[in-house]
Amino acid sequence: MTAPVPPSDGADLLDRQTAAGSLHAAGQWALIWHKFRRHKVAYASLILVGLIYLVALFAEALAPSDPGKFDPRYTFAPPQAISLFAPDGAGGTRFVPHVTGFDITLDQQSFRRVFVPDPDQIIPIGLFVRGDPYRMWGLFDTDLHLIGPLDPGQPMFLLGADRLGRDLLSRIIHGTRVSMSIGLVGVGLSLFIGMVLGGVSGYYGGLTDRAIQRVIEFIRSIPTIPLWLGLAAAMPKEWPPLQVYFAILVILSLVGWTEIARVVRGRFLSLRTEDFVIAARLDGVSEYRLIMTHMMPSLYSHIIAAITLAIPNMILAETALSFLGLGLQPPIVSWGVLLQDTQNLRAITQAPWLFAPGVVVVVAVLALNFLGDGLRDAADPYEK
């Protein structure tokens, strides 16, 4: 047994720590990231959420066609599968990425179009093809699409078509922009109200705190769906879609801020009595500086987690309202608007692919929830 070095408080310990390297000069974000990465599901969700927002950002270029482009010939056309090889006519196969066209017949009894895939109709598709023209971010005109048929006139419905023969995939991609941004912007608005009221409530306490808390409890006790319905019904019908969009945002935020206000208040209450906050006060730090530089940084990570958990609620609320026809209205495309098509029996029996927007909602909401969970766990890297 060798005698170890007696524990010392001096330079050798520091040297060892420096040799161990890594996180000693790491700030809170580096530590949060370090802890977050260990949460595998949340990490995967982060990537997924990132992808979803990329889709929202580049919707026009990613969508194969214009979301409003309709073709009565292809009413309720089923999804087409992509194949990479086609017979070359000489008995062999050649590499042609394509979808197969349809043999369309009209069922004389039900007056329904019957689509039968016709392997002889090969519709070649490609990446970065010319298609419907659009204006990217309102900056420049182009007609380049990531994926699409080489001949813009030919049909390609990777997720099928709706009752007007519009491409569902394109519509979902465009809906992503509206639905995901309503979550983000709506939470931004509730964050502002929530931080101010929650901060005031937690920092000053006493009567102010009690008043704000009672308001929060009152708002939370109102059943949300009837409240939204009432507010949405109060919107004049003649408002342009964009104005409706912002009105919906405000309505959602008016309820959404309460959760964030509670998180912020709770953190302020516990931070107020922390030794390091008292120490800062004894340094003579002014109240403003105390809040902004000593207390706020401890809140950021918690707030981000709260936001991430609030976005899915916003998305769900928007989807529900739009589904009921009280939220956004066509021609604005959102996931909820798309789901309006599934309200009748015909959709279920004839065109089950119309539920695809619902699947997308589930995926997006789950990913955001997992991400929020992971962030909440990693939010305080100094906890033991």
Partner 1 sequence: MTDILLKVRHLSVDFPLQKDIVHAVRDVSFDLRRGETLCVVGESGSGKSVTARAVMQLVAEPGRIVAGQVHLAGPDGDTDIVALGNRGAAIRAIRGRRIAMIFQEPMTSLSPVHTIGQQIIEMIRLHEKIDKADARRRAAQLLDRVRIPDPEAALDRYAFEFSGGMRQRAMIAMALSCNPEILIADEPTTALDVTTQAEILALIRGLQQERGMAVLFITHDMGVVAQIADRVLVMYQGRMIEEAGVFDLFAKPREAYTRALLGSVLKLESPGPRPVRPQTEQAVMAISDLCLHFPLGQRARAGGSVKAVDGVSLTINTGETVGIVGESGSGKTTLGRTLLRIYPPTSGQVTYTRDDGSKVDIATLSKTQMKALYGEVRMVFQDPHASLNPRMTIARIIAEPLRINTALSDREIRDRVGQLLERVGMPTDIGDRYPHAFSGGQRQRIAIARAIALRPRLIVADEPTSALDVSLRHQVLDLMRDLQTDYGLSYLFISHDIAVVRYFCDRVAVMKNGRIVEIGDVAQICEHPGHPYTKALIGAVPRPDPTLRPDVQIRVQA
- How many whole angstroms separate alpha carbon 74 and alpha carbon 162? 8
14 binds partner 1 per the rule CB under 8 A: yes
Name the DSSP class of 106.
E
Q: Is 151 or 274 the residue whose CB approaches partner 1 more closely?
A: 274
The CB-of-200 to partner 1 minimum distance in angstroms stands at 19
Residues near 60 by beta carbon (within 8 Å), at least 6 away in sequence: 134, 135, 136, 174
Q: For residues 328 and 246, is the Cβ–Cβ distance under 8 A?
A: no
- CA distances (Å), 315 to each of 50, 195, 357, in order? 16, 21, 12
Quick note: the x/- pattern for partner 1 over 16-45, rule CB under 8 A, is: -x-----xxxxxx--x--x---x-------
The single residue among 138, 275, 288, 345 that binds partner 1, judged by CB under 8 A, is: 275
Name the DSSP class of 290.
I
The single residue among 19, 234, 242, 282 that binds partner 1, judged by CB under 8 A, is: 282
The CB-of-74 to partner 1 minimum distance in angstroms stands at 53
Q: Hey, what long-range contacts does 148-152 have (CB within 8 A, 24 or more apart)? A: 148/64, 148/65, 149/64, 149/99, 149/123, 149/124, 149/125, 150/124, 150/125, 150/126, 151/123, 151/124
Task: Taking each helix axis as running N to C, give the angle between helix 40-57 and helix 28-36, from 0 to 180 degrees, rounded to the nearest 10.
Answer: 100
The single residue among 286, 331, 345, 349 that binds partner 1, judged by CB under 8 A, is: 286
Residues near 360 by beta carbon (within 8 Å), at least 6 away in sequence: 172, 175, 176, 335
Q: Is 150 or 280 the residue whose CB approaches partner 1 more closely?
A: 280
Q: Is 13 or 114 the residue whose CB approaches partner 1 more closely?
A: 13
93 binds partner 1 per the rule CB under 8 A: no
The single residue among 274, 292, 343, 348 that binds partner 1, judged by CB under 8 A, is: 274
Q: Is 6 or 92 the residue whose CB approaches partner 1 more closely?
A: 6
| Part in contact with partner 1 (CB under 8 A); list of ranges 97-105, 170-178, 293-301, 361-369 | 293-301
Which helix (H) or strand (E) segment holds residue 338: the answer is helix 335-339
Q: Is 290 or 315 the residue whose CB approaches partner 1 more closely?
A: 290
Q: Is 304 or 315 the residue whose CB approaches partner 1 more closely?
A: 304
11 binds partner 1 per the rule CB under 8 A: yes
Residues that bind partner 1 (CB under 8 A): 1, 3-4, 6-7, 9-11, 13-14, 17, 23-28, 31, 34, 38, 274-276, 278-286, 289, 294, 297-298, 382
